[in-house]
Structure 1
Amino acid sequence: MTFATFHWHPESRLWRHGDACASHLLDKLQAALAQGASLAIGPNGIDSLAGAPRGLLQTRSSGTTGSAKAIRRSHGSWISSFAVNADALGITPRDSYGILGAPAQSLALYGLVEAAFLGADLHSLQRLRPARQAALMVEGGVTILYATPTQLRLLCEVGQPMPSLRHILCGGGRMPDGLRARVAQLCPGAALREFYGAAETSFIAWGDADTPEGAVGRAYPGAEIRIDAAPGGFGEIWVRSPYLFDGYAEGDSADTRWQDGFVTVGEIGRIEGGVLTVAGRRSRMVTIADTNVFPEDIEALLLGDPAVSHCAVLPRRDPRRGTQLVAVIAGNCPPALEDHLLRLCRAGVGALAAPRRVIGISDFDLTATGKPDLRALAKRLEDLP
């Protein structure tokens, strides 16, 4: 059987702006892509998949809500979306990609592999401060940027205009209120597309300037979305597409299930007028005073405040309500800041759903891919009064 495989386009140039260790890692990735080899990529580096057929890729999930898992997919499951993006966004070898994260992060890896496949230049900006990243993107004339909401927020705080950008693809988390407007000020020539997906599914939906606030967007080309609820109601999100993973090579997840060619990772959402809105993970949903609350809504609200760089909203037992929520943020949280953030939450989600406390942690726990480590943070909450 012949498998589609990654390649390194002869017109792609790699600009290494990180340290020597990062350059070594990128050299190994470039060689593996040029050979179309089956490879495994994780926090410890890049390895070949010994004995595996050509055209396989194995990555590790972030482990945000549970144990990290090894996700295996075909090269073809990503190559299919490269063609979609090239057509929809008009990507050519004249473009230049900005990649902010390390290859161990699935969003950064996808951007690196897509650029190399399509013949665009790559500017790898991992391990650099946001101000340096912004300056190098301006200097290099970067036109395509893959970034998480946190990475975009940090770039906006620098305040460096980036006029060469023409497309920004934002994924890996919910975009805080106000971030889209801040990006538009610094990147007036860029179309910002927020997209929704998972390591297991790749693209599920994406939006554009016409997408309503708070929604993700319409089904990504080639993806079929199904909600297990009445029309317009919230239910589990299922997707069928050419972009799905093959299965877990290591570990498992009770949230991930297959049915009739569709897969779900346990996230809840609804579709209205063809537009998908995502509420959050079923496994994170909590019930407070008979009301279902998704911590992701509150986290997005808090991350919209410039004082909050990382946060997690976690449940704790409450003798009166059964459950109360506590917000944990990175850094110090003096009383004035806690009061401000609590008022922000009460105004945004109501007094019942709002956290009862905001706790600052200087050594905020993150996963290897830079997301809040919810399990580690919950463990630390157990030791607090």
Structure 2
Amino acid sequence: MVAGAADRFGDAEAVVDGPLRLSFADLFDRIRCAAGAFAEFGITKGDRASVWAPNSVEWIIAAFGLLTAGGVLVPVNTRFKAEEAADIITRSGAKAVLVQQGFLGAEYVAPSGVPVIDLKSDFLGSGKPFSRPVESTDISDIIFTSGTTGRPKGVMMNHSQNLRLYEEWCELADLREGDRYLMVNPYFHTFGYKAGLIASFIRGATMLPVPVFEVGRVVDLIATEQITMLPGPPTLYHSLLAVADKSKLASLRAGVTGAADIPVELVRRVHEELPFQTLATGYGLTEAGTVTLSRPGDSFEDIATTAGVACDGVEVRIADDGEVLVRGYTVMQGYLDDPESTAQTIDPDGWLHTGDLGTLDAAGRLRIVGRKKDMFIVGGFNAYPAEIEGFLLEHPAVAQAAVIGVPDERLGQVGKAFLVTTTADGSPPPSAEEMIAWSRDRMAGFKVPRYVEFLDELPLNATGKVMKDKLEGHRR
């Protein structure tokens, strides 16, 4: 794919990152040198390496250099704390971790024995041009996602799945050769890496990585770089609607969103107040990539209230209990080193059980109505109550914990924690503010509960499970 992009698009601008501008031919050369550096480092076919860093040209060169060397990419969420990342890095068997030291004030530390390579060092340019043949069925990436148990699971995808699906994504999302694609979606996420980088290589779109979303900076980039393509969570479009000087946004043509419930009024306002000609919505998950996307000509109502129809070669059906099931070539190869969870998720007939609840209308449009797994989405990031509850229970004063998602105007949803405390040693119980501050030191920001309520007891059913529907009345 990378070599083909260099052949087809040559001198066209491939990446703009600050003052650095690279053509597709330049980028291909740098990726081949990075592949050589990985090979000289000792990466052989099938070896894994992690990239734990923000969006940047170095992330692109490292990731595709690793793949060109025959390696397997394991992206790590930049918001993860050291312990969260260490679990993923260790279980993936990564032979190295590539980081950008100092990002968001963090010093990234890998587990003992795993070499750390700074992306801003001269490592990526230190190799001789190199590539190693791979098969279409070889695993290309392992992206970790949390399940209801809260323990992240590594989703394995192969080269052919990525290339086929995101070629179709380009068509449905209206990504065109020469588009200028501002990338606010993080590369450690399927949306940023696959619907961003892979799609841009396939189509010949210019990639403009954004490490941290700041609306003023984004607006300036849209104006100065004449951005045409801007996918992101609904939060992004809310921010653009609040921009005073909308003439700076005049170049925008296409957007893609999803990851949260979208008000019909938001879609209508985007079309009426912003220059977007198309705004697509879709549904996807790490275990199957993009599953559905809206189609050109869909109404505001359809775009806002449904996730579109299934991609080519993908089947969607609704189980008797309302769960969304997916089958087709996009379904993952399985969870890394976890055949039991794989068997629980993909049934003998090949249907992937998503854990989401939905309906299909007569036209085949999917509507997501709830989340079987209790997951909620904070500004585009998936937050899993079971995982957050596990962290909260590590506090010595917390006896029981339950977390739900509550509405938030800016982020869509945020976490609210219900805690039962114990003060066995006679010390006073922590305050809500103290619990929130304690949480910020131990988990990624999007997981930290924004609200904490203390209860004498949690509502439990006969088997001892928390009845979260009983907590719904305490949403704010």
C-alpha distance in structure 2 between counterparts of 1:157 and 1:48, whole Å: 45
After the TM superposition, which of the residue ranges 241-250 and 59-68 deviates more from structure 2?
Answer: 59-68
Report the secondary structure of 2:156's partner residue.
strand
Give the structure, 1 or 2, with the largest relative contact order (CA under 8 Å, sep 6 or more): 1
Shift in alpha-carbon separation, 1:165–1:242, aligned structure 2, 3 A = farther
Q: CA deviation at 1:72?
A: 1.0
Determine helix, strand or coil for the equivalent of 2:152.
coil
1:219 deviates by: 1.8
SS for the counterpart of 2:235 is: helix
Output the TM-score relative to the length of structure 1: 0.68
When residues 18 and 41 of structure 1 are mapped into structure 2, their CA distance, relative to the original with a 3 A threshold, is farther
Residue 219 (str. 1) matches residue 253 (str. 2) = no
1:182-202 deviations in Å (ceiling 9; x for gaps): 322443333111100100011
Deviation of 1:227 after TM superposition, in Å, equals 1.1
Q: Is structure 2 residue 347 aligned with structure 1 residue 247?
A: no
> What is the alpha-carbon distance in structure 2 between the residues aligned to residue 383 and residue 98 of structure 1?
43
TM-superposed CA distance for 1:170, in Å, is: 0.9
Structure 1 314/248 Cα, relative in aligned 2: closer, same or farther at 3 Å? same
Aligned to 2:190: 106
2:15 equivalent in structure 1: 14
Range with greater deviation from structure 2 (41-50 or 27-36): 41-50
* Aligned residue number for residue 126 of structure 2: none
Given candidates 141, 156, 163, the residue that maps to 1:58 is: 141
Distance 1:57 1:17 in 2: 29
CA distance in 1, matches of 2:188, 2:58: 14
Deviation, structure 1 residue 250: 5.2
CA distance, structure 2, for counterparts of residue 174 and residue 364 of structure 1? 27
- Alignment CA distance shift 1:220-1:139 (3 Å): same
Match of 1:283 in 2: 373
The residue number in structure 2 matching 1:228 is: 319
Shift of 1:136: 0.5
The structural deviation recorded for 1:128 is 4.2
Matched residues in 2 for 1:43 and 1:133: separation? 21
Residue of structure 1 in register with 2:388 after alignment: none
Matched position secondary structure for 1:265: strand
Shift of 1:118: 2.3
SS of structure 2 residue aligned to 1:258: coil
Residue 31 (structure 1) aligns with: 65
Q: Deviations over 1:23-71 (max 9, x none)?
A: 4333313434555753222237999977996542334335375222221
C-alpha contact 2:17 2:209 (8 A) present in aligned 1: yes
Q: Note the C-alpha offset of 1:265.
A: 1.9
- Which letter maps to 1:114? A
Aligned AA for 2:373? S
Distance 2:262 2:241 in 1: 13
Supply the distance in 2 between the matched residues of 1:117 and 1:240 (Cα, whole angstroms). Answer: 25
Q: In structure 2, what is the equivalent of residue 154 of structure 1? A: 239
**Equivalent runs, 1:151-300 vs 2, <5 Å:** 151-159=236-244, 161=246, 162-176=249-263, 178-208=265-295, 209-210=298-299, 211-212=301-302, 213-229=304-320, 235-249=322-336, 252=341, 256-273=345-362, 274-284=364-374
Aligned match for 2:152, one of 57, 68, 83: 68
Which amino acid is 1:280 matched to?
G
Q: SS of the residue aligned with 1:243? A: coil
Deviates more, 1:153-162 or 1:96-105: 153-162
Q: Distance in 2 between matches of 1:245 and 1:366?
A: 33
Q: Which residue pairs with 2:227 in the alignment? A: 142
d(CA) in 2 for partners of 1:170, 1:369? 23
Stretches of structure 2 that go unaligned for 5 or more consecutive residues are 21-52, 79-84, 96-131, 376-384, 386-403, 421-431, 457-476
Contact 1:216 / 1:278 at 8 angstroms: preserved in 2? Answer: yes
Is residue 121 of structure 1 aligned with residue 155 of structure 2?
A: no
Please tell me whether the aligned partners of residues 190 and 289 of structure 2 are also in contact (alpha carbons under 8 angstroms).
Answer: no
Change (3 A) 1:310 1:283: closer
Q: CA deviation at 1:225?
A: 0.8
**Could you tell me whether the CA contact under 8 Å between 2:326 and 2:351 is conserved in 1?**
yes
Aligned AA (1:312):
G
- Please say which structure displays the higher CA radius of gyration: 2
Q: Provide the residue aligned with 1:42 in structure 2.
A: 76
Q: How high is the sequence identity, in percent, across the aligned residues? A: 20
Aligned AA (1:43): N
Mark the CA change 1:253 to 1:382 in structure 2 (over 3 Å): closer, same or farther.
farther
Aligned partner of residue 83 in structure 1, secondary structure:
helix
**2 CA distance for matches of 1:367 and 1:6?**
39
Determine whether 1:80 maps to 2:81.
Answer: no
Asked whether the 8 Å contact 2:147–2:153 carries over to 1, the reply is no
The residue matched to 1:13 in structure 2 has which SS?
Answer: strand
What is the number of equivalent residue pairs in this alignment? 320
Q: Relative to structure 1, is the Cα distance of residues 17 and 299 closer, same or farther in structure 2, using a 3 angstrom cutoff?
A: farther
- Higher normalized helix content (fraction of residues): 2
Counterpart amino acid of residue 183 in structure 2: I
Q: 1:157 to 1:59 in 2, by over 3 A?
A: farther
- The amino acid that maps onto 2:191 is L
Question: In structure 2, what is the Cα distance between the partners aligned to 1:108 and 1:23?
Answer: 13
Relative to structure 1, is the Cα distance of residues 193 and 299 closer, same or farther in structure 2, using a 3 angstrom cutoff?
farther
CA deviations over 1:68-126 (Å, ceiling 9, x no partner): 22211012112112221333455332212111033112211111121123221101112
Q: Could you tell me how far apart the structure 2 residues matched to 1:52 and 1:382 are?
A: 56
Residue 6 of structure 1, CA deviation: 6.0
- Determine whether 1:131 maps to 2:234: no
Residues 237-283 of structure 1, C-alpha deviations (whole Å, 9 max, x = no match): 11112222111115647972333122112111111212211112223
Which structure 1 residue ranges, 5 or more long, are not aligned? 286-294, 318-330, 333-359
Paired residue for 2:415, among 279, 287, 312? Answer: 312
